[in-house]
Structure formats: structure tokens, C-alpha cells
């Protein structure tokens, strides 16, 4: 066991998730000189990070742990599939993907959860995705953590929903009902050629923050924070970066009915990379 895996396991065992996340957010954004380099090197070893993919391979250039965690990749290594309708927004592993039925999405075998609760409780927003499609991608600590636009679109609204910060690994997904509707999340709505695309960025234990390209780091507040952007004309092309997580988490995409089909190989536990086909 490396120092990094030992430290994470020990702190997670002894510390409540919200306290742990707050502590993690502070420590990982602090320049600590050689200790930062030590943590990064151990992180690379623990999670078998492929440095050949990283745009800047000089470890000493990362002044904080999070500088490395949100590292950029060489752009040619994530080509955008031009033959599909929409692409995967992140690297990660498919949790579930399929059709939204009777306001329910599949979380894991034997567990489902409410679409309405996931996106903030609005009946009007929920109706958009009746009989539509969804895809859930889990980002492990080892994954590239920047989030990209699946299809050309215009940002029209976001809803920040405060919540818990439970881990979103396979154990909790398989055993904890309503996990995604319990955790903090940012729900983003985009106007696209297929209708209104919804990208849900789900927080989790150790996620120091959710950051967006249009408004920066999300402030954790009490109560729903609804922001309308329709008049701001904020547009993104397919493949453009729209945000990132500081540590592992989950991205859920929602598509209206008749907005295409989820690619057939996007099955549970299937690894994906940003830019590959998602909606065909």
C-alpha cells in the first residue's frame, strides 16, 4: 500500500464525509513545496496515472495537489467522434445508461431513483425527459477530471442543489438507495439541436469543489440556487470544456425523447473516454 492510499483510507475511516471534504478542499489547494510533489508522485503510483497522456509532464510545475488533479491532457489523445450525434463528456466508467421510464432512472441492479428529485423538483423540467435517454459516468480518482460539451449548445439555466457528500464508488451505488438525489449536484440545461440537454455534475466525498467555465467555482449554499443564463448567450461547441471536479465524482446526461439513442456498447462498467460516441 502506498502512502497516498494509506492516508486516504485512514482519513476516510476516521472522519465524517463533510468534514473530510472540507479538509481535503483546503489542503489540496495549498502549495506545500516538496510535500506537494511527494503527494503527487504517490498519487501517480497509487492510481497508475499514464503520464504519457498529460500535457505538462513536469511534476514540479504543479504547485498544489489539485493543480495536478485537474491536469490537462494532450488534445490529440481525445479526438472528437464526428460521426455520432453527441459524445461522452468525460473519461470514466459507465454506471448505467438507457431509457428514463415513469420518472425513474436506474442506479444499480435493484435500485432506481427519481428524475424529478435529481434535477431539482420542477415538474416542467421533468416533463422534458419523459421517455428520454440517460447515461451515468463515474469518474474515479485516476480519471481525467475535466468535463466537456457533448454537442453544440447554449447554456440556458443552472440549478445548484445542496446535499450530502457520500462516496459514489461501486459499493455505495449498489447498496445505498437514492444516492444521486442525496448528494450535492449542479444541474445544467443547454439548448441544442436535439432539444434541451441536461448535464448533472454530482458531488461526492473528497470533491473539494465543482467548477464551471461560465461562473467559476460553485459556492456551497443552503437551498436551491437557480440561475438563468438565456439572455447571456453563452455557447459551447462539441468538445469544449465546461467544467471540472476536484477529485472523483459522477456526471449524468439526460436527453429528451426522440433525441437519439444511447450507443449500444455503453453498458454497466464499460470504460469510456471523452470524445467517443454517446448518442447515435
Residues known to be catalytic: 91, 148, 249
Query: Within the chain, what is the greatest distance between any pair of CA atoms?
Result: 54
Neighbours of 3 (CB within 10 A): 14
Neighbours of 259 (CB within 10 A): 21
Give the C-alpha distances (Å, rounded to integers) separating 251 from 45, 66, 137, 263: 26, 19, 5, 17
For residues 175-200, one letter each, b for 16 or more C-beta atoms within 10 angstroms of the residue's C-beta and e for the rest, the string is ebeebbbbbbbbbbbbbbebbbbbbb
Angle, alpha carbons 37-6-48 (nearest 5°)? 60
DSSP 8-class letter at 254: E
Amino acid at each position: 500500500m502506498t502512502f497516498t492510499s494509506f492516508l486516504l483510507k485512514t482519513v476516510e475511516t476516521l472522519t465524517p464525509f463533510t468534514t473530510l471534504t472540507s479538509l481535503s478542499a483546503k489542503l489540496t489547494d495549498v502549495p506545500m513545496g516538496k510535500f506537494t510533489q511527494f503527494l503527487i508522485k504517490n498519487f501517480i503510483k497509487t492510481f497508475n496515472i499514464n503520464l504519457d497522456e498529460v500535457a505538462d509532464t513536469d511534476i514540479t510545475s504543479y504547485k498544489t495537489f489539485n493543480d495536478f488533479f485537474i491536469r490537462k491532457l494532450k488534445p490529440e489523445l481525445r479526438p472528437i467522434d464526428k460521426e455520432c450525434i453527441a459524445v461522452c463528456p468525460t473519461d470514466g466508467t459507465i454506471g448505467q445508461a438507457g431509457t428514463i421510464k415513469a420518472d425513474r432512472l436506474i442506479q444499480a441492479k435493484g435500485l432506481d431513483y427519481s428524475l424529478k428529485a435529481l434535477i431539482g423538483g420542477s415538474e416542467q423540467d421533468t416533463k422534458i425527459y419523459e421517455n428520454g435517454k440517460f447515461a451515468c459516468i463515474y469518474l474515479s480518482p485516476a480519471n481525467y477530471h475535466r468535463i466537456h460539451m457533448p454537442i453544440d449548445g447554449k447554456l440556458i439555466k443552472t440549478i445548484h442543489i445542496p446535499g450530502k457528500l457520500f462516496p459514489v464508488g461501486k459499493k455505495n451505488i449498489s447498496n445505498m438507495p437514492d444516492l444521486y438525489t442525496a448528494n450535492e449536484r449542479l444541474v445544467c440545461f443547454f439548448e441544442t439541436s436535439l432539444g434541451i440537454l441536461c448535464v448533472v455534475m454530482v458531488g461526492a466525498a473528497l470533491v473539494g469543489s465543482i467548477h464551471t467555465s461560465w461562473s467559476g467555482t460553485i459556492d456551497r449554499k443552503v437551498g436551491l440556487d437557480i440561475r438563468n443564463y438565456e439572455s447571456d448567450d453563452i455557447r459551447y461547441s462539441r468538445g469544449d470544456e465546461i467544467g471540472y471536479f476536484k477529485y472523483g465524482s459522477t456526471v449524468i446526461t439526460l436527453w429528451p425523447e426522440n433525441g437519439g439513442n444511447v450507443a449500444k456498447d455503453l453498458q454497466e462498467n464499460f470504460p469510456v473516454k471523452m470524445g467517443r460516441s454517446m448518442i447515435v
